[in-house]
Amino acid sequence: DAGVIQSPRHEVTEMGQEVTLRCKPISGHNSLFWYRQTMMRGLELLIYFNNNVPIDDSGMPEDRFSAKMPNASFSTLKIQPSEPRDSAVYFCASSFAVGGQAFFGQGTRLTVV
């Protein structure tokens, strides 16, 4: 398996634009997580899916952020409208079982100018 695949690896966008980050979890994994990492706040858990259902989105910072998982092999994190303070590295991770080892993707480095 190629591991967790995220796209794009880098994204530069202007303030106010919509940004969509994509994630393909490892096949067979039933839990998916979106994290955000910044120097100031470290790694923050944004939202967590189990069997494609959002379980906890309390880490999503604002209504500008939304995440979907239409099927077991794909998830998106959307920011609309984007703001400079959203600049960060966004990681997607998946695990086989709740509480099991999480495998992280390479991340998407988002820069909002």
Partner 1 sequence: LAKTTQPISMDSYEGQEVNITCSHNNIATNDYITWYQQFPSQGPRFIIQGYKTKVTNEVASLFIPADRKSSTLSLPRVSLSDTAVYYCLVVPSGGYQKVTFGTGTKLQVIP
Count of C-beta atoms within a 10 Å radius of residue 77: 23
Does residue number 59 form part of the binding site for partner 1 (CB under 8 A)? yes
Does residue number 44 form part of the binding site for partner 1 (CB under 8 A)? yes
Does residue number 42 form part of the binding site for partner 1 (CB under 8 A)? yes
Torsion of CA 103, 108, 109, 111, to 10 degrees: -140
Which tokens hold the place of 34?
């979106």
Does residue number 12 form part of the binding site for partner 1 (CB under 8 A)? no
Contacting residues toward partner 1, per CB under 8 A: 4, 31, 33, 35, 42-45, 48, 50, 55-56, 58-59, 91, 93, 95, 98-99, 101-107
